[in-house]
Amino acid sequence: MQAVILVGGEGTRLRPLTYTIPKPLIPLMNRPFLSFQFELCRRHGITDIILSTSYMASIFQEAFGDGSSLGVKLTYVTEESPLDTCGAVKNVEEHIRGPFMVFNGDVLTDLDLSAMLAFHRQKGSVTTISLTPVEDPSAYGLVPLDDEGRVLEFLEKPGPDDEIVTNLINAGTYVIEPELLDRVPAAQRYSFERQFFPGLLAEGLPVYGFPSDAYWLDIGTPAKYLQAHHDILDRLLPFDFSGEEVFPGVWAEEDTVIEEGALVSGPCCLGRGCHVSSGAVIRGHSVVGNDCCIAPEAVVEGAVLLDGVRVGEGSEVHGSVLGRRVRLGRKVEVRDLCVLGEGVAVGDHNQLRMGLRIWPEREIAPDTLHF
Ligand code: GTP
């Protein structure tokens, strides 16, 4: 079995992080997000993986090489211009040798791939779509099934007067029979959701849905990206922490120093080579990247800091994401889902709130922003 992972999107909802790191490579728990998908595939015996790249294509190969260090064999195929989800799979057709799986490159899940494949075979399905239940079906396109699990139709987002017939939505993982690619036009934009799947139904082909209660999260927005960290720290899905558990629920990798007098409470994790000064506070649900410095009296809570971040004396970061090499001066406050791009420097006594996003390498002069 092979897997095709779609990693070519621009990740606009996660800007400014995605200006300098493509979404599938943004660290989750200090590891490139895609490594979670490789690990899931490996657990189910899928090691032959094709990465369909477009946006920032060369960075993927630099990050993973041939995949051997991660226990997988990677093939990279790059589009000259983005071909949308199904067009991207058509573009890798020459590497496909049998039925294959497709993954959106931004979904964190512990879906039972082996069970999904067994279901696909048992039903004689030509395409099987993983489905996940959602609490508010009115916000999504829905996929109702018959009693056998066969897809009846693909519904657009229901309007206020429409009856809600199911709470199942497309979870972005598919099993596909290879001959179906014959009906996809080459070198053209083509969508699974809007064109390919509805086309199969129109022809009366057996398309099945595989509903699952497995953990599932699309990490594509800042809120979901933070939530993915919180959920892993809360052990909602399997994860092997790196480094050492230095206090209960506090994991730190090598060369990280937590000075006496610093208060670090779990669940949280710190990468390599960090320095947490005496008087600093790191509260639960925080993830600190490699080579970060947290100065005295600084507070980090429910936040994600990528590599090389410096949080100045008395500054506070709550429920926000700081990109690589962000520097906060003294007494800066960052709260409520702000996202600071790579290399942003915030001068002393600024307050950043209400989901502010600051583009990479910008500098904010001291005492400029207040709420
Ligand atoms: P947003 O711009 O924030 O919506 O994110 P996105 O660009 O990732 O789009 P979306 O979340 O809808 O994409 C779902 C998956 O398909 C992601 O893993 C994308 O990387 C991937 N993807 C989207 N469009 C293309 C494309 O044209 N080519 C390839 N190869 N992958 C794509």
Instruction: Say if 95 falls within a structural domain.
Output: yes
Contact 263, 277 (CB under 8 A): no
> Residue 330's domain spans which residues?
244-364
Count of the separate structural domains present in the chain: 2
Instruction: Say if 369 falls within a structural domain.
Output: no
**Residue among 349, 355, 303 nearest 328 (CA):** 349
Q: Over the stretch 206-259, which tens digit does the pLDDT of each residue have?
A: 999 999 999 999 999 999 999 999 999 999 999 999 999 999 999 999 999 999
- Å from CA of 256 to ligand 1 middle: 36
Instruction: Say if 222 falls within a structural domain.
Output: yes
Q: Residues 221, 257: one domain? A: no
- What ligand 1 atom has the least distance to the C-alpha of 23? 8
Q: Residues 23, 170: one domain? A: yes
- pLDDT reported for residue 158: 72
Instruction: Say if 304 falls within a structural domain.
Output: yes
Q: SS3 of 186, please?
A: coil
Q: State which amino acid sits at residue 249.
A: G
Q: Residues 191, 153: one domain? A: yes
- pLDDT reported for residue 136: 85
CATH code at position 6: 3.90.550.10
- What ligand 1 atom has the least distance to the C-alpha of 10? 7
Q: Residues 277, 131: one domain? A: no
Q: Residues 195, 261: one domain? A: no
Is the pTM value of this prediction over 0.85?
yes
Pocket lining: 83 vs ligand 1, CB cutoff 6 Å: yes
Q: SS3 for 17-44, per residue?
A: HHHHCCHHHCEECCEEHHHHHHHHHHHC
- What ligand 1 atom has the least distance to the C-alpha of 84? 27
Q: Residues 202, 309: one domain? A: no
Q: Residues 155, 252: one domain? A: no
Inter-axis angle of helices 113-123 and 33-43, nearest 10: 60
Contact 361, 344 (CB under 8 A): yes
Residue showing tokens 């090598």 = 254
Q: Residues 250, 315: one domain? A: yes
The mean of the pLDDT values for the chain is 94
**Residue among 321, 171, 324, 232 nearest 35 (CA):** 232
Q: Over the stretch 301-330, which tens digit does the pLDDT of each residue have?
A: 999 999 999 999 999 999 999 999 999 999
Instruction: Say if 97 falls within a structural domain.
Output: yes
- Residues whose CB is less than 8 angstroms from the CB of residue 267 and which lie 6 or more positions away in sequence, other chains included: 233, 234, 249, 250, 284, 285
Q: Residues 226, 276: one domain? A: no
Kind and range of the H or E element at 321?
strand 321-322
Q: Residues 216, 351: one domain? A: no
Burial class (CB in 10 A: 0-12, 13-18, 19+), 105: buried
Q: Over the stretch 144-154, which tens digit does the pLDDT of each residue have?
A: 999 999 999 98
Contact 37, 5 (CB under 8 A): yes
CATH code at position 252: 2.160.10.10
Q: SS3 of 76, please?
A: strand
Tally the C-alpha atoms within 13 A of residue 233's C-alpha that lie toward its C-beta: 29
